[in-house]
Amino acid sequence: MAISSLGVGSGLDLETLITKLMQVERQPLASLQNRKTTYTSQISALGKIKSAIDSLKTAATAMKDPDKLLSLTANSADASVVSASASAGASTGTHSIEVTQLASAHKLVSPSSVNLSTGGTLTLETGSVSGTTFMPNGSAATVNIAARASLSDVASAINSAKAGVTATIVNGTGGQQLVVTSNTTGASSQIRMSAIAEVTGLSIAGLDFDPAAATPGGMTQQAAGQNAELKIDGIDVVSASNTVKDALAGVTLELKKTNSGAPTQLTISGDSSALREKAEAFVKEYNNVISTLKSLSQYNPDGVSGALNGDSTVRSLLSEIRNNAFNVPAGVDASFERLFSLGISTQTDGTLKLDAAKLDEAASKDISAAAKSLSAYATSFESLAKRLNGTGGLLETRTDSVQQSSRLLDTRIETMNLYLEKVEARYRKQFSALDSLMGKLRETSDYLAQQFSLLGNMSSSK
C-alpha cells in the first residue's frame, strides 16, 4: 500500500508534530530576528538624530553672520538736507549734521565762436590744484580735431577719448557752445585743456583752460570742482562726493543741500526683528534636538522604551550640546557673554527658552554687541554640529557600528534559515520512513487478524 500523505500509514497527525518540532527549532531564529528589528529601529533613530542636528546647524549658520542679524535705521530730522542709511558696523545714537558746502563737478563752457578752420590737437587731463601748480591724476588724453570741424565734432571726439570728462553741445542764442564736465565731483577732478592749431602751432582760442593759471584761458568756468564740506558733531569732514561713506562708521550720508548755521539731527537706531527671528529659529531647532534625543532614549517600564534606551552615544550627545550652550565661545562681546544675558535661558528639562522682551532690551542697549555675541554662539554650534554629524563623528561611528552588527546578523539569519530547512527535511524523511513502516505493520496485523479469524471459523464448524 503506497503512502500518499504523511500520517496516512500510521494514522498519526505527523504534520502537526513536525510543525511543533520546527517551532521549537525556530526559537533561536526568532531571537535573531528580534535583534534585527532592534538594530533597524536604532539605525532609524540615529537617522532622526542626525536630521535634527542638521536642522540645528542650518539655524546656527543663519545666525552666524552678524550683518544678517543687524537691522539698523538712519533717520534724518531734515531729509531735504541729508538722508542716510546704516549697515553693520554702525552704532546707535544721535548725531548733529551741518552741511556747509556741496561737492560739485568742474564744468567749463566755450565761447560760441571758435576758429577750427585748420584743425589741430586738443589735450585733456583732470587733477588738482595746489597754489599755481596743476597736479594731474594720470596721463593726458589727446584728441585730434579735423580742419573745419564743428563744436559737435569736437564734443564727439572728446567723448570717444574717455578722458574722464563728458562733452555736450548747448545751442544758445549766440550759436553752439561746448560744455565740458568732469565725470566726478571734487577738488581733485578739475579739468585742464589746451588746443594747438595744426598749421600755425598756436593755441586755439576758446578751447583752453588752466585752473592753476592766473588767467585760466578762453573757456569759462561754469561750476567749480569742489569737495563737500560738513560738520558731524562739530567735527570737520571733507568728501569729494556728496555721498559720504564711513565718516560715521557704518553710515552712508547723501548730502542734498547746505544748512550752514542750522544743524539737523541724524538718529541711528536698531531694529531687533531680524535678531529675534534668527534667535527664535535657533532655539526651536536646539529644543528639537534635545527632545529627539530624550524621546529616543527614554525608558518606559510600563510600555515601549526608546530605540536608543541606555545608549551611551545619546548621553554623550546630550552632554556636548548642553555644555556648548553653557560654555562661553570665542568672539562674544563682553557686554553679553552668556546666552541668558540675551534672553535665552535653560529650562529644567534641558531645553532653551527665549525671552523676546529681554533680547529686545539687549538690542536696544547695543545691537551690534548683541549680534556679535549671538554670532559667536552660532559659530560654535555650527562647528559642533559639523563635528557630530561629520566623518568620524559620534553619530557616524555609532551608526556604522550598528549597521555592521545588522549585516553580521543578516548572515547568521540566512545561515539559520538554511539549517532549519535541512532540519525540517530530516524530520520529514524520518517521519515518512516511520509512517511507511507503521503502515506495513498495520497491513501485517490486519492480515494476521484475518487469518486467525478464518482458523477460528474452521474450528467451530467441525
pLDDT band at residue 7, thresholds of 50, 70 and 90? low
18 lies in a domain?
no
Do 398 and 279 lie in one domain? The reply is: yes
Do 288 and 396 lie in one domain? The reply is: yes
pLDDT band at residue 460, thresholds of 50, 70 and 90? low
Q: Which of 100, 81, 99, 103 is nearest to 224 (CA)?
A: 103
pLDDT band at residue 12, thresholds of 50, 70 and 90? low
Q: Do 431 and 17 contact (CB within 8 A), yes or no?
A: yes
Number of domain units in the chain:
3
Between residues 260 and 32, which one has the greater pLDDT? 260
**pLDDT of residue 395 exceeding 50:** yes
**pLDDT of residue 2 exceeding 50:** no
Q: Counting every residue, how long is the chain?
A: 462
Packed helices 356-389 and 273-297: angle between N→C axes, nearest 10 degrees? 50
Between residues 184 and 460, which one has the greater pLDDT? 184
Please state the rounded mean pLDDT for residues 259-266.
97
Q: Do 124 and 145 contact (CB within 8 A), yes or no?
A: no
Q: Give the structural domain span for 358.
A: 28-67+273-402
Do 284 and 367 lie in one domain? The reply is: yes
Do 45 and 188 lie in one domain? The reply is: no
Residues 6+ apart with CB under 8 A from 365: 335
What confidence score (pLDDT) does residue 280 get?
96
Do 82 and 111 lie in one domain? The reply is: no
**pLDDT of residue 449 exceeding 80:** no
**pLDDT of residue 462 exceeding 70:** no
Set of cell numbers at residue 210: 588752466
451 lies in a domain?
no
| Amino acid code (one letter) for 243 | T
Do 182 and 112 lie in one domain? The reply is: yes
**pLDDT of residue 247 exceeding 70:** yes
**pLDDT of residue 378 exceeding 90:** yes
359 lies in a domain?
yes
> Which residue among 270, 293, 326 closes a domain?
270
252 lies in a domain?
yes
Interval 330-368: pLDDT, tens = 999 999 999 999 999 999 999 999 999 999 999 888 888
What confidence score (pLDDT) does residue 3 get?
43
CATH number at residue 187: 2.60.40
Place of cell 529644567: 348
Report strand pairing: 228-232 vs 93-101.
antiparallel
pTM here is 0.59
- φ/ψ of 354, rounded to 5, equals -100, 125
pLDDT band at residue 258, thresholds of 50, 70 and 90? very high
Q: Do 166 and 159 contact (CB within 8 A), yes or no?
A: yes
Do 277 and 393 lie in one domain? The reply is: yes
Do 277 and 391 lie in one domain? The reply is: yes
Interval 193-243: pLDDT, tens = 999 998 888 899 899 999 999 899 999 999 999 999 999 999 999 999 999
What confidence score (pLDDT) does residue 1 get?
40
Q: Which of 139, 118, 113, 137 is nearest to 126 (CA)?
A: 137
**pLDDT of residue 144 exceeding 80:** yes
**pLDDT of residue 372 exceeding 60:** yes
Do 293 and 397 lie in one domain? The reply is: yes
pLDDT band at residue 283, thresholds of 50, 70 and 90? very high
> Which residue among 364, 380, 402 closes a domain?
402
Q: Do 370 and 342 contact (CB within 8 A), yes or no?
A: yes
| Amino acid code (one letter) for 237 | V
Across the chain, mean pLDDT equals: 89
Instruction: Residue 382: count other Cβ atoms within 10 Å of its Cβ.
Output: 19
- Region class of 100: left (phi > 0), else alpha (psi between -120 and 50), else beta: alpha
Set of cell numbers at residue 371: 549680534
Do 88 and 38 lie in one domain? The reply is: no
175 lies in a domain?
yes
**pLDDT of residue 270 exceeding 50:** yes
Please state the rounded mean pLDDT for residues 44-70.
90
Place of cell 549680534: 371
**pLDDT of residue 5 exceeding 70:** no
For residue 61, the SS3 value is helix
- What CA–CA distance (Å, rounded) separates 38 from 40? 5
- What CA–CA distance (Å, rounded) separates 9 from 2? 8
**pLDDT of residue 9 exceeding 60:** no
450 lies in a domain?
no
Do 305 and 398 lie in one domain? The reply is: yes
437 lies in a domain?
no
Q: Which of 335, 326, 345 is nearest to 370 (CA)?
A: 335
pLDDT above 70 covers what percent of the chain? 95
What confidence score (pLDDT) does residue 461 get?
62
Do 185 and 293 lie in one domain? The reply is: no
Q: Which of 113, 46, 45, 69 is nearest to 366 (CA)?
A: 69
288 lies in a domain?
yes
